[in-house]
Structure 1
Amino acid sequence: MPKPSAQVTAADISRMAGVTRATVSNWRRRHEDFPAPAGGTDASPLYDLQAVRAWLRARGHVAAATPAEELRTVLRLHSGDSAATRALPLVLAAARRDKDALTALTELPDADLATRAGGAVAELSGTVPGADAVRYQPGDADLLRALLRCVRDDGGQSALDVLAERELDDSAASGAYQTPEPLSDLMARLLAPATDPYPSRVFDPACGSATTLVAAARLGATHLYGQDVLSVQAQRSAVRLALAAPDADVAVRDGDSLRADAFPGLTVDGVLCAPPYGVRDWGHDELAYDPRWAYGLPPRAESELAWVQHVLHHLEPGALAVLLLPPAPAARPSGRRVRAELLRGGALRAVIALPPGAAAPLHIGLHLWVLQRPEPDGGGGRGSVLFVDTAEEPAGNRRGTGSVDWDRLTGTALTHWRAFAEDPSGFVSVPGTAHAVPVIDLIDDVTDLTPARHVRAAGPAASPADIARQTRELYGRLTESVKSLAASGGHGDWRPAGDQLRSWRTATVSDLTRGAALTLHQTVPAGGRGKRVAELPKEYAGRPVLTGQDVATGTPASGELDTPMSAYAVAEPGDVILPRVLSSYRGVAARVADERDAGHVLGPTLFLLRPDPDRLDPWFLAGFLSAEENISSASTLGTSVRLTPGHLRVPLLPLEEQRRYGEAFRRLHDLRAAARRAAELAAEAVDLTALGLTSGALLPPEAP
């Protein structure tokens, strides 16, 4: 019997055809032969994928789909046969060939293509775990061609992200979650507290999708080791590392790191790890006499403390490790003895609390443990442990579930950790945020390592008079901000466009770039595409850096360059700036650079589009580029949502009409900025007033 076809939504069809959802709705109404719903509901119908593809093909619309979208669509037709897993090694094999060779492969007959693809993958048997067992059949030809075209046109990472959507889901049952890229970057940067060369050899014994190792490679690691209990994760990590760090020595193995360590004699310069947690069957009984338990046998319910000691076992003396852990191991009674021994032995250097939403599960505030293997002649423990609490973000910086001000969080964590690492005894505590606690004060009947317990003991440092003055000033600024918000919301009479939605011809950003209507720029980290450089050029030293958070909040450039780049993008007035990695498919706030941004360097997570002012209005461009449907059709979902700017579409309108739209988008931008300022001031005023009342610095107003 023929295999049943997958089903798609109207939004899926719009991405497949490269049109808006409104266009799909018009097709449904105007064309009697448009496929009838095959499932779903009246409000959210589902359509047979094969029927939709045939209908689009008959009208020439399939060619409008991006290569990534075409690969995504073909994978749906192969659901249930592990197609994405079998295709993983082919991504690397294809990425090592030039575009002409890939084009030639796609033109082969089905049987020849399957044979050639299988031979290419077999060459990777020593690089990608399980590659020698992969086989392709002539029936896989449509999948193979779609993957080769995606690698050829969009790159290997884009194809890898699409495959990940099908095969690698987060699993709350196993405690295995993807580590977001900003968090992986923070973990990697914590390995180098000073200006010393970055650790050369870095290991992740629960490497997952390899985001931590990729982050380490960007910073200078040249020998990368990984292991994961899931074979598909190990395969994906091997492919991703080979794509991201082609000059590095990479070794990735599959298997259970605790029960079957694939690198038993390996010691490295740094370890990054986000191990699975909540696992009771981790090998407690069979590993009872394992030499790794230098700080005590981890209790049966404390698999996290087994990972802590496994990581320490793989470190060179004096080397650091950073682990992402849930909050329970910091305080659970069953782990008190192991925690106490870690403190006595000087193995625990810092615990950093993250806000809920930093990583899945999003409702829990996770912890980063910074560990260090003691030197053989170190003389025992260290004097103190650093606790940092980043969990309390200003309310105005929260932008939905899982949204975190990563620039602020990273700056807070790195600043305090580096200051502590340089001079532990001279560290100056910041009430409510960071505090260095003597080890002797930590070891008690509880040995609680929860940062909030240690950093929130101090009250406000200011006097009651200062608190009262600051409160009055804040409420005054809030009043002015509310007036500005009301004025911003009073502009414009938004008229209907007619009886039906307005439609227009569009062009992609790639088309506009080829036609010289705009140019696309990006800052590229050293080790990515382009040449490698050893030091920061003098012309860029000290320049402010625009970050993703600056663009999202409309604030001035807040970053700085601390590592050399292969290429630098510098903002000019009229440039349109977009993020490269998104928190969701929802529309984003594009930034139109002004005089204040002139000369600032773009961070590597941003794209810069420079329009020809005689052909494109920048505010018009920013408004349409950041529309939700546009972003959705030009993005791929892997461990995060990645924007492909060349696929974004722009209406082709006369310049005068563009300027009318541009003025409207500018007004909306001003309204959003005014609302954000008012919300931030309101939250700050409420927090300061509450602190003043509860600390005894302020008195309630007298009754009228």
Structure 2
Amino acid sequence: MPSVEQQFLHELDEKLWKAADKLRNNLDAANYKHVVLGLIFLKYVSDAFEERQRELLELFKNDADDNIYSLPREDFDSDAEYEQALNDELEILDYYREANVFWVPKESRWSTLKEKAALPTGSVLWQNSKGEDVRLRSVGWLIDNALEAIEKSNDKLKGVLEGISRFQVDNDKLIGLINSFSDTSFTQPTLDGEPLSLRSKDILGHVYEYFLGQFALAEGKQGGQYYTPKSIVSLIVEMLEPYKGRVYDPAMGSGGFFVSSDKFIEEHAREHHYDPAEQKKHVSIYGQESNPTTWRLAAMNMAIRGIDFNFGKKNADSFLDDQHPDLRADFVMANPPFNVKDWWHQSLAEDVRWQYGTPPKGNANFAWLQHMLHHLAPVGSMALLLANGSMSSNSGGEGEIRRRLVEQDLVECIVALPGQLFTNTQIPACIWFLTRDKTGGLSPNGVEKRRRKGEVLFIDARQQGYMRDRVLRDFTREDIARISDTFHTWQRTDAFENVPGFCASKDLAAIEKHDFVLTPGRYVGAAAQEEDDEPFADKMARLTAQLKDQFEESDRLEAEIKRNLGGLGYGI
């Protein structure tokens, strides 16, 4: 039975998606996501800003001696003067920055947007700094103006917020979207009159994530470039546990790994009675993305959740224009596009990153892996989603690179995944976990690990999960827990035991016997069959008697059919 919070979010998803989906008559999925996500972003920052305004107003009116924000009424000659002072104080930018809330100029606030969008084209909106009338050109222009004003007021968003007027969406459709988004209390949500324990950040973050998934489905193959299935992201984050240190994703898409890490940190903090906000101060986020649209989506995704980030100065190719050349991260995780063929450039021929062999020019899989290793700190850990071919291919020198990785004892764990997990590809996938240090001791997040020199864990998870619909498979929370618990037990304790058909720990000599092929199925064996304690003679007698009874029943049914057919005049 879903909770009231889950029911609220489900109903909200359907309502907002239904409103947004009306744009599909005018725009394809690749474009209308910018319109919708731009409005979601405006709604969120405006709601968060107004929520902070309400908090400040209460603080200003509270005349307690220890309240540094207090603005006593007795200091003013009249109510009008007092009200004006309160309003002036609410417009001081530093009050919002100190609470990690984006400053939203008046022309960008949702109430302004809703009010002005309903006016006829050409209406006077306000006067600019020169005292000139600013008139409404279109609703798209009004939204662009709101986004641009937020960018100018927040350094982190410079060059991030794209305008929507270029898509030339009808005013009426945009007004409909604004009204649909307005018709929900994001800061004080209720369901059937019941107040819900959901913050504006939680609701808008959820909606944003839901929309990204829906856009990925709508766009098909192209949409997957910015969306990794939530269950796979959760699995990797729970296995790595990146709740302290530098976290890096060189193919970040819309930032799914960072969002999941942020949620993991909050859960971990609550579980151990830490302050989540304090815990997050110990994490630094670094990312890179080549696609300009996706780079902006990621920045918006972080801003919506109040996550501090460094995504470089611009969108850029991780191989040709590394935005973090000196970074050595404690945790590196990525889902780069599989089997990319056109990645190579002659300038990469003698690149310092190819420590274990130059990757083939026609496949970037081992280029991504070595790029990530290059950015990995001496005691760091990394996880990389790759096509299954990476575990066994020998073409273009891949087999030689894989051999060197194993011989250098960098491979920690290989997880084989079930098919049909991705919206954009049917290519079977696996997860590589690598580390530079298997000697044991404290990891960057403070977890004690045992000595694992010369050992590799193989997990065959191809039978895990369930079919969410006719096309897509998904993991349950139990599936994720089983895989991550297996990894942590092997990594940290001496209590690990091989489970036939699921997991096995092997030494490097065993891997060498298989010519350095890393497919888990070769190492975990077949699943154990249930024990059969029935003696063979008794079992044979029982089965023979069963067969005799079945033959007799067959003869009886055949005779019955012949009698019935004979009665109908058919000669048998």
Match of 2:311 in 1: 251
Evaluate the alpha carbon distance shift between residue 392 and residue 226 of structure 1 in structure 2; reply closer, same or farther with a 3 A threshold. same
1:124 to 151, 170, 177: 151
Deviations 1:569-619 (A, max 9, x none): xxxxxxxxxxxxxxxxxxxxxxxxxxxxxxxxxxxxxxxxxxxxxxxxxxx
2:111 to 99, 103, 109: 103
Partner SS state of residue 288, structure 2: strand
Match of 2:377 in 1: 316
8 A contact 1:317–1:376 mirrored in 2: no
The root-mean-square deviation of aligned C-alpha atoms, in Å, is 3.9
Evaluate the alpha carbon distance shift between residue 261 and residue 422 of structure 1 in structure 2; reply closer, same or farther with a 3 A threshold. same
Deviations 1:536-563 (A, max 9, x none): xxxxxxxxxxxxxxxxxxxxxxxxxxxx
1:392 to 447, 463, 474: 463
1:85 to 21, 34, 39: 34
Q: Does 1:434 align with 2:487?
A: no
8 A contact 2:458–2:524 mirrored in 1: yes
- Mark the runs of 5 or more structure 2 residues left unpaired by the alignment: 1-13, 51-108, 122-134, 187-202, 266-279, 442-450, 549-572
8 A contact 1:188–1:212 mirrored in 2: yes
Match of 1:496 in 2: none
Counterpart Cα distance in 2 of 1:370 and 1:444: 21
Evaluate the alpha carbon distance shift between residue 298 and residue 97 of structure 1 in structure 2; reply closer, same or farther with a 3 A threshold. same
Match of 1:406 in 2: 476
Q: Which amino acid aligns with 2:151?
A: L
Deviations 1:99-130 (A, max 9, x none): 98413321213553555533332233754574
1:134 to 160, 163, 178: 163
How many residues are matched?
A: 403
2:415 to 346, 352, 360: 352
Q: Does 1:201 align with 2:246?
A: yes
Map 1:199-598 to 2 at 5 A: 199-220=244-265, 222-243=283-304, 245-249=305-309, 251=311, 253-283=314-344, 285-334=346-395, 335-360=398-423, 363-374=426-437, 382-393=453-464, 400-423=470-493, 427-444=496-513, 446-456=515-525, 460=528, 464-465=532-533
Counterpart Cα distance in 2 of 1:467 and 1:218: 55
Instruction: Give 1:325 deviation, angstroms.
Output: 1.4
Partner SS state of residue 384, structure 2: strand
8 A contact 2:458–2:503 mirrored in 1: yes
Q: Does 1:185 align with 2:246?
A: no
8 A contact 1:95–1:151 mirrored in 2: no
Evaluate the alpha carbon distance shift between residue 209 and residue 353 of structure 1 in structure 2; reply closer, same or farther with a 3 A threshold. same
Counterpart Cα distance in 1 of 2:35 and 2:456: 47
Evaluate the alpha carbon distance shift between residue 284 and residue 327 of structure 1 in structure 2; reply closer, same or farther with a 3 A threshold. farther
Match of 1:657 in 2: none
Evaluate the alpha carbon distance shift between residue 366 and residue 407 of structure 1 in structure 2; reply closer, same or farther with a 3 A threshold. same
Partner SS state of residue 321, structure 2: coil
Evaluate the alpha carbon distance shift between residue 163 and residue 216 of structure 1 in structure 2; reply closer, same or farther with a 3 A threshold. closer
Counterpart Cα distance in 1 of 2:411 and 2:144: 48
Counterpart Cα distance in 2 of 1:175 and 1:282: 18
Counterpart Cα distance in 2 of 1:350 and 1:467: 42
Partner SS state of residue 107, structure 1: helix
Normalising by structure 1, report the TM-score.
0.50
Q: Which amino acid aligns with 1:186?
A: L
Q: Which amino acid aligns with 2:227?
A: Q
Evaluate the alpha carbon distance shift between residue 312 and residue 174 of structure 1 in structure 2; reply closer, same or farther with a 3 A threshold. farther
8 A contact 1:151–1:159 mirrored in 2: no
Instruction: Give 1:445 deviation, angstroms.
Output: 7.0
Instruction: Give 1:74 deviation, angstroms.
Output: 3.7
Instruction: Give 1:140 deviation, angstroms.
Output: 5.8
Q: Which amino acid aligns with 2:435?
A: Q
Partner SS state of residue 328, structure 1: helix
Structure with the larger helix share: 2
Instruction: Give 1:87 deviation, angstroms.
Output: 5.7
8 A contact 1:90–1:121 mirrored in 2: no
Evaluate the alpha carbon distance shift between residue 328 and residue 139 of structure 1 in structure 2; reply closer, same or farther with a 3 A threshold. closer
Counterpart Cα distance in 2 of 1:200 and 1:445: 36
Instruction: Give 1:406 deviation, angstroms.
Output: 2.1
Evaluate the alpha carbon distance shift between residue 147 and residue 459 of structure 1 in structure 2; reply closer, same or farther with a 3 A threshold. closer
Evaluate the alpha carbon distance shift between residue 129 and residue 263 of structure 1 in structure 2; reply closer, same or farther with a 3 A threshold. farther
Counterpart Cα distance in 2 of 1:169 and 1:319: 37
Counterpart Cα distance in 2 of 1:320 and 1:700: 57
Q: Percent identity?
A: 24
Counterpart Cα distance in 2 of 1:418 and 1:163: 31
Counterpart Cα distance in 2 of 1:466 and 1:128: 71
8 A contact 1:170–1:178 mirrored in 2: no
Evaluate the alpha carbon distance shift between residue 104 and residue 159 of structure 1 in structure 2; reply closer, same or farther with a 3 A threshold. farther
